[in-house]
Structure 1
Amino acid sequence: MRLTALPAFQDNYIWALQTPDERTIFVDPGQAGPVFEAAAQGMQPAAVLLTHHHDDHIGGVAELRQRWPRLRVFAPVDERIALDCERVAEGDRVQSSGFDFSVMAVPGHTRSHIAYLGHGHLFCGDMLFSLGCGRMFEGTPAQMLASLKRMAALPPETLVCCGHEYTLANAVFARHVDPTNAALQRRQKEVQDMRSRSRPTVPAVLASELQCNPFLRTADAHIRDAVTTRLGQAPADEVEVFAELRRWKDGFRA
């Protein structure tokens, strides 16, 4: 299958996963325009997958449905997604036009956030980013950490398909926390090169994220030591490591 990152807004990506016969799943179309352009190039919309209710991820669906009234749309159970959707939750399967995804509940960024896993790809919306993670708008640190650990436990070759181009900024923070990490240094150089050529830095391979992303390494001594120095005392547990790391990132300025 062919994966394409369709740019939207300032830094969003709408993901398009395409079969050889051009049937295409679109993930989180906050704008309809990029999907229309992709369809004009031959991608045939088979279904839409939505990860959470934020408008920059769902705002284009109504317009897509005007053009393709029978287009299947899958979404989490959340009254804030006021669309005619097929609602899915933890453990459900999404099967459409030869595609097959399992649904994971990954609360933290929002209370009803879900991710879709299939064909070697993890469509994780705003929960997990390359070298970072989403803000906690509705979840708790314990929820967010548990969700990230579930994703971290997936096969290391999984391609992490997140909703925004944040990797370059995330790399700066990650290096601040973990300055001696050689794998992270290599990833930052790779990202700088990609962005200098206007290339997407995602999808990211999960194995790389496990080496480089501080939010997936909250049990690592280097991350714990950095948080200890910042707090002035040892964190009580891994949840406190994560919570302080997220607070640190929220206020970080390079």
Structure 2
Amino acid sequence: MRLTPLPAFEDNYIWALRAADGRAVIVDPGQSAPVLAAARQGLQPVAILLTHHHNDHIGGAADLLRQWPQLPVFAPADERITLECEKVGESDRVQLPGFDFEVLSVPGHTRSHIAFFGHGHLFCGDTLFSLGCGRMFEGTAAQMHASLQRLAALPAQTLVCCGHEYTLANAAFARHVEPTNAALQRRQQEALDMRSRSLPTVPSVLASELQCNPFLRTASPEIQRSVATRLGRPAADEIEVFAELRRWKDGFRA
């Protein structure tokens, strides 16, 4: 399988997971133009996977269906997604010739957010980012924390294919929260080098996220101390650690 990030808007990625014969699954096409350009270079879309209803993740799908009317679309059960599609949820599978994905329910960013896991790749939309996580527009801290812990339990070599190029901004916050984390310092430098060459910093490897991403590291003593300092008391549990990290990040400016 060949993974290709297709840049869209200012910082979105549309993902194309391509088999050796050019057949590809397209994930979260917020715009159609990047997919159509890739198709002119030999990409052959065979399905669209949608993680959540936000327009920067689904806005190009209707145009792609006009180009390929028989293209199947798999999406979460959400009335705000009005495309003709197959609604999928927890424990469902998306099975196509040469492709097989498990569907995971990961609410928090939105109430109906899902992720697709298969072939060593996790397509997680705006739930998990490199060195960060999505904002909680509709879910609770407990839901989002549980969703992230579920993703954290996937195989360590899983490639995390998230929806945005946020790594450098996330790194600045993560270093503020956990300044002595050597693995995080290395990851930040790696990301700086990649962006200086206009390369995407994702996918990242889940093992690296477990070492560096503060939202997956709510049990870290240093992170708990940072949160306790901010709260003026120790957090009651890891959910409160997560909730305060997310509030902190929402207002953080490097």
Superposition TM-score tier, normalisation by shorter sequence: over 0.9
- Tell whether 2:100 aligns with 1:90: no
Work out the CA distance in 1 between the residues paired with 2:39 and 2:71.
13
Query: Matched residues, percent identical?
Result: 75
Counterpart for residue 100 of structure 1? 100
Counterpart for residue 15 of structure 1? 15
SS of residue matched to 1:226: helix
Q: 1:39-50 maps to which residues of 2 (within 5 A)? A: 39-50=39-50
Q: CA deviation at 1:202?
A: 0.2
Q: 1:223-238 maps to which residues of 2 (within 5 A)? A: 223-238=223-238
TM-score by length of 1: 1.00
Q: CA deviation at 1:186?
A: 0.2
Counterpart for residue 169 of structure 2? 169
- Tell whether 2:213 aligns with 1:218: no
Q: CA deviation at 1:153?
A: 0.4
Q: 1:52·1:110 contact (CA, 8 Å) conserved in 2?
A: yes
Work out the CA distance in 2 between the residues paired with 1:97 and 1:70.
15
Work out the CA distance in 2 between the residues paired with 1:138 and 1:67.
33
Give 5+ residue unaligned stretches, structure 2: none
Q: CA deviation at 1:96?
A: 1.3
Q: 1:23·1:97 contact (CA, 8 Å) conserved in 2?
A: no
Q: CA deviation at 1:97?
A: 2.6
- Tell whether 2:209 aligns with 1:209: yes
SS of residue matched to 2:81: coil
Work out the CA distance in 1 between the residues paired with 2:38 and 2:17.
11
1:165 is matched by which residue type in structure 2? E
Q: CA deviation at 1:68?
A: 0.4
Counterpart for residue 4 of structure 2? 4
The structure 1 segments of at least 4 consecutive aligned residues displaced by more than 4 Å after TM superposition are none
Give the root-mean-square deviation of aligned CA atoms. Answer: 0.4
Q: CA deviation at 1:219?
A: 1.1
- Tell whether 2:25 aligns with 1:25: yes
Q: CA deviation at 1:243?
A: 0.3
Q: 1:103·1:114 contact (CA, 8 Å) conserved in 2?
A: yes
Give 5+ residue unaligned stretches, structure 1: none
1:198 is matched by which residue type in structure 2? S
Counterpart for residue 125 of structure 2? 125
- CA-to-partner distance for each residue in 1:73-122, whole Å, 9 max, x for gaps? 00000000010001100000001131000000000000000000000000
Work out the CA distance in 2 between the residues paired with 1:139 and 1:219.
22
Q: CA deviation at 1:222?
A: 1.1
Q: CA deviation at 1:135?
A: 0.1
Work out the CA distance in 2 between the residues paired with 1:210 and 1:147.
14
SS of residue matched to 1:78: coil
Work out the CA distance in 2 between the residues paired with 1:172 and 1:97.
42
SS of residue matched to 2:108: coil
- CA-to-partner distance for each residue in 1:145-171, whole Å, 9 max, x for gaps? 000000000000000000000001000
SS of residue matched to 2:154: coil
Q: 1:105·1:113 contact (CA, 8 Å) conserved in 2?
A: yes
Q: CA deviation at 1:220?
A: 1.2
Work out the CA distance in 2 between the residues paired with 1:145 and 1:224.
15
- CA-to-partner distance for each residue in 1:15-59, whole Å, 9 max, x for gaps? 000000000000000000000001001010010000000000000
1:219 is matched by which residue type in structure 2? A
Aligned residues: 254
SS of residue matched to 1:4: strand
Work out the CA distance in 2 between the residues paired with 1:98 and 1:52.
24
